[in-house]
Amino acid sequence: DTGVSQDPRHKITKRGQNVTFRCDPISEHNRLYWYRQTLGQGPEFLTYFQNEAQLEKSRLLSDRFSAERPKGSFSTLEIQRTEQGDSAMYLCASSLAPGPGANVLTFGAGSRLTVL
């Protein structure tokens, strides 16, 4: 297992286009989190899944954002009608619950979005 994988690493798009990011967590991890990070800021929570169930979404997550984890393995984060303010690093992290593993997030390298 090579850890948490994210694809693509960098996406450049024009305003108004849709983009999709994929995350493959550590295989035995049942929890998967999405965060957004802008320059000079810490990761900001977007949403998280336990298995295939989306258990929580940030109030900051507009209707243009949707995330899925259809079989409880990989997850996708789609942003529709992108805006320049969506430019950020999108981080995926996973953990194993219950137990002490739930207290530790393992992050992927991130997917950087640039909206022109």
Closest contact distance (angstroms) between CB of 81 and other proteins is 26
C-alpha separations of 2 from 25, 69, 104 in Å: 9, 20, 17
Shortest Å, Cβ 87 to other proteins: 14
What is the smallest separation between the CB atom of 16 and other proteins, expressed in angstroms? 26
Kindly tell me which of 82 and 108 has the beta carbon lying closer to other proteins.
108
Q: How far is CA 81 from CA 33, 56, 96, in A?
A: 22, 23, 33
By three-state DSSP, how is residue 24 classified?
Answer: strand
Cβ proximity to other proteins, 45 vs 80, nearer residue: 45
- What's the rounded Cα separation, in Å, for the pair 19 and 47? 17
- Interface with other proteins (CB under 8 A): 4, 6, 31, 33, 40-45, 48, 55-56, 89, 91, 93, 97, 102-110, 112
Is the alpha carbon torsion for 114, 50, 72, 26 positive or negative?
positive
Which residue, 47 or 82, is less far from other proteins as judged by CB? 47
